[in-house]
Chain A
Amino acid sequence: MTEVLDTVIAAVLSEGWRHWVGSILCLIGAVSTVIAAVGVLRFPDFYTRLHAASVTDTLGALTLLAGMALLAPGIFIVIKMILIGLFLVLTGPTSAHAIANAAYTAGLEPLIGKFRDLKDEDEGESENG
């Protein structure tokens, strides 16, 4: 049973493009995760940092999982990758919403409006805190 499935998968995806596409997807995931980490440090307040962090949840994690699924040796690894992605897609926004809702309920005011200079926001944040 497993051998049959593996041979089918191998026949469909035996060419070199699987390796290349998988590697490129993993690279995209890694780079976007690093950029998101920079964003978490760079953005001015809690809510905007949450936006930066959600990039890791979606593009980062999902492209990494897709890349790993393409590089995987057997069908059962692929199934596990799909399940991990499914759970991430279900739990990621739920926890993000829980954190944001808790912050909003606790009375943390989001910064609203345009700003271009980081110094102004630092002052605004210290006034709030």
Chain B
Amino acid sequence: MIYVLGLATALVLLWLGMSGVFEPLVLGLGVVSVIIAIALAIRLDLKDRESSPYHRIFAFLLYTPYLIGEIVKANITVLKAIMSPELDIEPSLVKVKSTCRSDLAKVIFANSITLTPGTVTLRVDDDIMLVHGLYEADAQPEAFEEMDRRSSLAGDGPSTRKGKA
């Protein structure tokens, strides 16, 4: 039930933010749309903990500034690599072990790796991620430890994290 309420809140905010019109007719259409969307979500059985991770939203917000910093740093590295007169790259494949427990945290970790330019997650097998990096020095497993720690904090929360998985 709490997830249905969370979904309803998100849909109402989305409607108001996207439309920006506060006339009775448009608001009524919005209410009808929200009810139809919720009915569909219930019928499709999408109202569980995994598909509506609203309880983690503050952890995500805390994770965002760190991620933006990493993205900017990685972007500068890749732009330098592109603009250097001699092509001086050193692609490599590395296996990164993740300490994330839930699927949500693993998705956050793998997507963060892919989102930072210069590293792409090729494959995820349980907690081993195969990462392709543009520079061998930047794509060492130690380089991802900080990101792993933070994404498991964002996805799992501090309570479920008990040492190495």
Q: List residues of chain A with CB under 8 Å of any chain B CB.
A: 1-2, 32, 35-36, 38-39, 42-45, 47-48, 50-52, 54-55, 57-59, 62, 74, 76, 79-80, 83, 89-90, 92-94, 96-97, 100-101, 104-105, 110-118
Contact = CB atoms under 8 A, between A and B. Distances in A.
Contacts, number: 123
Contacts of A74: 20
Interface of B: 14, 17-18, 20, 22, 71-72, 75, 78-79, 81-83, 86-93, 110-112, 114-123, 130, 132, 134
Nearest to A77: B20
A18 B164 CA distance: 47
A96 B71 contact: no
Contacts of B89: 43, 48, 114-115
Chain A binding surface SS class:
helix
A2 B81 CA distance: 46
B78 A114 contact: no
Most central of B82, B88, B93, B121 by chain A CB within 10 Å: B82
A50 to B, nearest CB: 6
A83 B17 CA distance: 9
Given A2-B22, A79-B17, A80-B18, A116 B88 contact: yes
Contact of A110 (B20, B91, B118): B91
